[in-house]
């Protein structure tokens, strides 16, 4: 959470304790998100900028580096380059699907040629699954296929579809995972999922892409809605993960979801899907390093100038044309550099006794880092329209500009998390 002074720059006494409670990256080890990291680098707010000095002479590890959004790829690369060249940072990009950024870095500076730090390993060591295209599947057809398996994982592209498919599954041994659930809720579900997988009990999970990165589960079968090649390969990492089953018996089924979920996709999301289809048509092994390199190279080439869709880098370069009077557009860049275009706001869900106690403390005005960290484990980040729908229904108690408490427990399901409300409208009865 960020707390700033007022527009004139004068301290706001009402925010004093909240500002002291906010994170400032003043620990030896800091864990944060790519969104928080990069948006802080391009911010012009004191609450975000005051922590940046801690990045000097640090080691920065970018996990799942392939998830840097293409429209902001060049500003992110230039920011990493600046930290390495002028601030003594060492940057490590980790992922099973390296996004072929070598030419991008060397174009910035010949000093920045990336080098591989892992030893060369024969490709056959990683062959643990087979891929199969199964065409278009409706939600009902997909649910029928999943119900036919004792253990299976299904990854879809939207939270709405995840909830819909889950509702169609046999309830015995079926689970749902999405960011509409609090982190603590997801942790409890994953613990039960791992136990059932280990014990050979029925376990069917429908999830969004959150399960693709950093979640250690091992399913015999995975269904993945069509997406970029990196997402498909990451999904395959949840199938036969421990290599205990023959690769031929461990299948990743790639399917086309119902058109209702893809009709409104923006072009930036359709392009990775189209390039994935193109490169896998000629390369039978989607997870081969050469296939992954072809995919990311083609994706970058077809994207063209869209790797800096807001033209942020040229804005800063133009700012130093007159060295006697440099002018950098920090305010404009901060407004335009948003890795997630739609802002989210945190809603604390009092779904357990501990969460209820945390909500009560926050409602009394208590603020501390420890309290806000704990509250985050019981919070759901929702988009602005969803937040406004909850608020207009009287289901929220507002605390700060980015935090509220859910006051209507019926709007949080023990199975699927926060219930998506209709966008609004008028019902006419005759």
Strand, helix or coil at 359?
helix
Residue 194, pLDDT score: 95
Between CA 47 and CA 44 the distance in angstroms is: 9
What is the location of CATH 3.40.50.300 in the chain?
124-287
For residue 135, give the H/E element and its range: strand 130-136
398 touches 387 (CB < 8 A):
no
In 349-427, DSSP assigns E strands to 379-383, 396-400, 403-406, 412-413, 417-418
Nearest one of 126, 132, 66 to 288, comparing CA atoms: 126
pLDDT, tens digit only, all 430 positions of the chain = 665 555 555 555 656 666 666 667 888 999 988 988 999 899 887 777 778 889 999 999 999 888 888 889 999 999 999 999 999 999 999 988 888 888 888 888 887 888 888 887 777 777 889 999 999 999 999 999 999 999 999 999 888 899 999 999 999 999 999 999 999 999 999 999 999 999 999 999 999 998 987 788 999 999 999 998 989 999 999 999 988 899 889 999 999 998 888 777 766 678 888 888 888 887 668 888 888 888 888 888 777 667 888 899 988 888 777 767 778 888 898 888 988 766 788 999 999 999 999 999 999 988 887 898 899 999 999 988 899 999 999 999 998 767 899 999 999 999 999 987 654 444 444 3
Between CA 361 and CA 359 the distance in angstroms is: 5
Please give the model's pTM, rounded to 2 decimal places.
0.81
Between CA 423 and CA 198 the distance in angstroms is: 41
As a CATH number, domain 124-287 is 3.40.50.300
Q: Are strands 59-63 and 90-94 parallel, antiparallel or unpaired?
A: parallel
- The dihedral region occupied by 200, where left means phi > 0, alpha psi between -120 and 50, and beta the remainder, is left
* Helical H segments across 337-378, by residue range: 353-363, 369-376
Q: Which residues contact 12 (CB under 8 A, 6 or more apart)?
A: 4, 5, 6
404 touches 168 (CB < 8 A):
no
Residue 338, both tokens: 């948003």
Between CA 159 and CA 3 the distance in angstroms is: 30
Between CA 40 and CA 52 the distance in angstroms is: 8
């Amino acid at each position: 959470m960020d707390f700033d002074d007022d527009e004139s720059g004068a301290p706001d006494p009402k925010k004093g304790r909240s500002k002291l409670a906010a994170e400032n990256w003043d620990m030896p080890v800091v864990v944060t998100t790519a969104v928080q990291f990069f948006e802080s680098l391009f911010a012009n707010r004191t609450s975000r900028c005051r922590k940046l000095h801690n990045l000097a002479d640090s080691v920065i590890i970018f996990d799942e580096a392939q998830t840097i959004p293409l429209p902001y790829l060049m500003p992110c690369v230039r920011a990493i380059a600046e930290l390495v060249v002028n601030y003594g940072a060492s940057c490590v990009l980790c992922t099973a699907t390296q996004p072929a950024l070598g030419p991008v870095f060397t174009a910035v500076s010949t000093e920045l040629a990336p080098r591989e730090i892992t030893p060369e390993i024969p490709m056959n060591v990683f062959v643990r699954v087979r891929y199969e295209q199964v065409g278009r599947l409706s939600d009902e057809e997909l649910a029928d296929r999943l119900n036919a398996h004792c253990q299976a994982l299904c990854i879809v592209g939207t939270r709405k579809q995840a909830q819909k498919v889950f509702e169609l599954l046999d309830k015995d041994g079926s689970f749902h995972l999405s960011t509409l659930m609090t982190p603590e809720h997801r942790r409890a579900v994953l613990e039960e999922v791992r136990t059932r997988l280990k014990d050979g009990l029925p376990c069917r999970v429908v999830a969004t892409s959150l399960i693709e990165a950093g979640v250690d589960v091992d399913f015999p079968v995975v269904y993945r809605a069509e997406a970029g090649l990196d997402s498909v390969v990451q999904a395959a990492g949840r199938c036969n993960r421990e290599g205990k089953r023959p690769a031929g018996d461990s299948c990743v089924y790639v399917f086309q979801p119902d058109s209702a979920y893809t009709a409104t996709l923006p072009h930036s999301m359709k392009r990775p899907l189209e390039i994935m289809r193109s490169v896998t048509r000629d390369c039978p092994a989607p997870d081969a390093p050469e296939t992954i390199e072809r995919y990311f190279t083609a994706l970058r080439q077809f994207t063209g100038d869209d790797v800096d869709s807001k033209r942020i880098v040229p804005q800063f370069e133009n700012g130093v044309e007159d060295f006697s009077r440099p002018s950098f557009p920090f305010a404009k860049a901060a407004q335009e550099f948003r890795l997630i275009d739609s802002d989210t706001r945190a809603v604390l869900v009092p779904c357990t006794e501990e969460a209820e106690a945390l909500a009560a403390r926050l409602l009394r005005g208590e603020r501390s880092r420890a309290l806000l960290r704990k509250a985050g484990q019981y919070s759901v980040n929702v988009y602005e329209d969803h937040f406004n729908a909850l608020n207009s229904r009287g289901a929220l108690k507002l605390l700060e500009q980015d935090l509220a408490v859910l006051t209507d427990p019926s709007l949080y399901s023990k199975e699927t998390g926060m219930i998506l409300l209709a966008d609004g409208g008028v019902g006419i009865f005759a």
